[in-house]
Amino acid sequence: MKREKNLDLAIDFLVSSIDQKTKGSAAFHSRIYFPFKKWSAPYPETTGYIIATLLDLAKYEKYNHLKKHAKEMADWIIELQAEDGGLPGGLYDSNGKMEKSIFNTAQMIIGLNAAYIFFNEKKYMEASAKAASWLKDVQEENGYWTKYHYQKDFFPSYYTRVAWPMLEAAKIIDDIDIENAALKTFDAIQSKKNKNKFVKDAGFKSGSYAFLHTIAYTIRGFLEGALINNREDYWITAYDWAYKLLRKYEIKKKLAGAYFEDFKEVDWYRCLTGEAQMVIIWMKIFEKTKDIRFVNASSKLLDEICKTQPQKNGLLLKAGGIKGSHPYHGRYIMFRQPNWATKFFIDALLLEEKAYQEIVNKVVV
Amino acid sequence: MKIVVTAGHNKSLHSIALMHTLKKNGHEIVGCILVKTFQIKRLKSYIRQYGWKTVKAKFSSHVLGNSDTYLANEVKPIKDYLEKIELEKTSVTQFCKKEKIKIVHTNSLNEDEACQMVKEQAADLIIYAGGGILRKKIIQSSKQGVLNAHSGWLPFFRGMNAIEWSLLYGFRPHTTIHFIDVGIDTGSILFREPIPYHNDLYTLRGTATVHNIELLNKVLGNFEEYKKSSLEQTPKQGKQFFVMHDRLKEIVAKKLKNNSEDKWITQKDKINELNFK
């Protein structure tokens, strides 16, 4: 593998993030937030989707041992599940003071689905079904959610990443009601698409910029929705936006840390998390279209991300962990190395390798 | 025909050979727009586009004429061509001085003094031989417009590294003679022909430069006829490609080394069969 050292360092970072008591993954490493213990409390949300990454890695002989961690994580998530199926938001609180959260529940469904597919154990499917069912039950008529989410009067477009795991769960358990609920959310968000290909409200606040991270969340949701349900309109929404960002990247050789809805850039920092997520999106577009331009841009962007990955433990940074932003004081997850940035980086590296194998073996004459 | 030629830098053998052959074929070279080589902004833009390693090697082989870089094979065909046409290696400035061709040194091809020179010289045509992106004002400054030789089959392979992208998709690289408009390689097409084959990527790139010169001369020899039968393009017909990543280039170079000439798709109708949805 071309970037094996980067991958190994990133895996070591993720494994180090695992809390020995709970088996959940700490949200981030930071010598500034936590000068002595360095790691935050475990984060159920991202632990959820890290399961999928570890299981992807476990398919390789070299990394097969990681399935043990993935299983422990999935079991921990089941422990955290409320009676009605909801899963908690925020960092893990050993006193049990945790509120249920729409978005976070959906992210954990990703892990539960992956665990079910990998281990073929019914308990993961049941937990996923219960969680997806809860999301459907508390959904409003218009496809939005008003309860159990961050801001009451603002419904962010990156909730396509709630609809995607719901849709995935619906397909696994063959539940048309959950499927329809997910599609309702996709359609509601898609109605906010601007002429310039940007989908309104893709950030954390209304009328403000959106980090590349939440833009990528929004695009990925549409992309996965399109792939699962064969929906051309979701595909076009995802493709057009992703291609526009690719073009911007190829011309400027840089993606901004955040964008306003008119594509005005906040470019004094890079959102490394979002960059890794964009690589995943571009690689997935390649998988469907065989358009190698998407691999080309991905490899260039991965080169740039790799340059920021600490190769050794330092005063502030832990080896292998991708920073939220570059420079470290950039606005997105300032002064921290979130576990999800490294998770998306690993996903991106695996997809890049797969793409090159395909290019060498199939695409090129 | 009164022609103005562009040059991307003062040591551009491409521009020199082009002016020389056009002149020899009876055209009047009324001017040359030379973009200044040493500009911080331009250098930064190149490094951003190609990376430091490539820029360093390009500068060494193309500007300084060194033959010890991995890009030396790219320059060899044009050097051989100069020898063949018995033209001594010189600079654009010296060539223009010797041939009494008016030359303007500019920061960009789009500067007022460049447009003004084209108008003052009452040029019929500008031939693009490097120097950066052209804007509307310079495109419209001559009577006929701007002609370019692009090293890819248009309308399909637009933009950068068209040779490499063609090969990656299994298509034999072509030279396309076309008019430049405000889009990227979207102007009407006058002529297309396969680039003479070579199984070394850099030699093939260098061969393409010579082929560009030969085809431009061929088209200008019967310009009105080619113009009459030219093909319009629409933006949707093709794809814009960008600078190719080294890892993909390695795959291309390897495939080129291992495949014989007949392995590549050459028929234009086959282009739709490429694995590219």
Over chain A, what HEC string results?
A: CCCHHHHHHHHHHHHHCECCCCCCEECEECCCCCCCCCECCECHHHHHHHHHHHHHHHCCHHHCCHHHHHHHHHHHHHHHCCCCCCCECCCCCCCCCCCECHHHHHHHHHHHHHHHHHHCCHHHHHHHHHHHHHHHHCCCCCCCCCCCCCCCCCCCHHHHHHHHHHHHHHHHHCCHHHHHHHHHHHHHHHCCECCCCCECCCCCCCCCCEEHHHHHHHHHHHHHHHHHHCCHHHHHHHHHHHHHHHHHHHHHCCCCCEECCCCCEECCCEEHHHHHHHHHHHHHHHHHHCCCHHHHHHHHHHHHHHHHCCCCCCCCCCCCCCCCEECCCCCCCCCCEEHHHHHHHHHHHHHHHHHHHHHHHHHCC
**Contact at 8 Å (CB) between A211 and A274?**
yes
Residue, of A272 and B264, whose pLDDT is higher: A272
Per-residue model confidence (pLDDT) at position A336: 98
Query: CA triplet B101, B92, B223: central angle to 5 degrees?
Result: 60
Torsion of CA B230, B85, B206, B72, to 10 degrees: -160
Per-residue model confidence (pLDDT) at position B276: 47
For the cut 50, the answer to whether the pLDDT of residue B46 exceeds it is yes
Cross-chain CB nearest to B247 (options A253, A356, A362): A356
Rounded-to-integer distance, Cα A321 and Cα A311, Å: 9
Q: Residue B48: its chain A contacts at CB < 8 A? A: 252-253
Per-residue model confidence (pLDDT) at position B69: 72
Tokens in use for A273? 């998390």
- pLDDT tens for B190-248 read 999 999 999 999 999 999 999 999 999 999 999 999 999 999 998 888 899 999 999 99
Per-residue model confidence (pLDDT) at position B272: 57
CA distance A332 to chain B (A): 24
Band (B274; pLDDT cuts 50, 70, 90): low
Report in angstroms the alpha-carbon separations of A168 from A94, A101, A107: 31, 19, 12
CA neighbours closer than 13 Å in the CB half-sphere of residue A198 = 21
Q: Residue B243: its chain A contacts at CB < 8 A? A: 250
Residue A365 to residue B263, Cβ atoms within 8 A: yes
Residue A296 to residue B49, Cβ atoms within 8 A: no
Rounded-to-integer distance, Cα B253 and Cα A83, Å: 60
**Contact at 8 Å (CB) between A221 and A241?**
no
Per-residue model confidence (pLDDT) at position A95: 82
Q: What CATH superfamily is the domain B2-273?
A: Formyl transferase, N-terminal domain (3.40.50.170)
Within an 8 Å CB–CB cutoff, is residue A176 touching chain B? no
Q: Where are the domains of chain B?
A: 2-273
Per-residue model confidence (pLDDT) at position A237: 98
Per-residue model confidence (pLDDT) at position B42: 73
**Contact at 8 Å (CB) between A162 and A189?**
no
- pLDDT tens for B152-166 read 999 999 999 999 999
Per-residue model confidence (pLDDT) at position A181: 98
Using CA coordinates, name the residue in chain B closest to A292.
B276
Percent pLDDT > 90 in chain B is 71
Per-residue model confidence (pLDDT) at position A152: 76
Using CA coordinates, name the residue in chain B closest to A363.
B275
Residue B245 to residue A296, Cβ atoms within 8 A: yes
- pLDDT tens for B62-98 read 777 777 777 788 889 999 999 999 888 889 999 999 9
Q: Where are the domains of chain A?
A: 1-18+195-365, 43-191
Within an 8 Å CB–CB cutoff, is residue A144 touching chain B? no
**Contact at 8 Å (CB) between B255 and B248?**
no
Residue A296 to residue B248, Cβ atoms within 8 A: yes
3-state secondary structure at position B9: coil
Cβ burial of B157 (10 Å; 0-12, 13-18, 19+) is buried
Per-residue model confidence (pLDDT) at position B277: 41
Per-residue model confidence (pLDDT) at position A345: 98
For the cut 90, the answer to whether the pLDDT of residue B269 exceeds it is no
Q: Residue A293: its chain B contacts at CB < 8 A? A: 239, 241-242
Cross-chain CB nearest to A299 (options B239, B245, B255): B245
Q: Residue A291: its chain B contacts at CB < 8 A? A: 239, 276-277
Residue type, A199: V
Specify the CATH number for A43-191; select among 3.40.50.1260, 2.30.29.30, 1.50.10.20, 3.30.1330.10: 1.50.10.20
Residue A365 to residue B170, Cβ atoms within 8 A: yes
Q: In CATH, what number does A1-18+195-365 get?
A: 1.50.10.10
Q: Which residues of chain A have pLDDT under 70?
A: 363-365
Longest CA–CA separation in chain A, Å: 61
Cross-chain CB nearest to B170 (options A250, A303, A364): A364
Percent pLDDT > 70 in chain B is 96
Band (B45; pLDDT cuts 50, 70, 90): confident
**Average pLDDT of the segment spanning B244-261:** 91
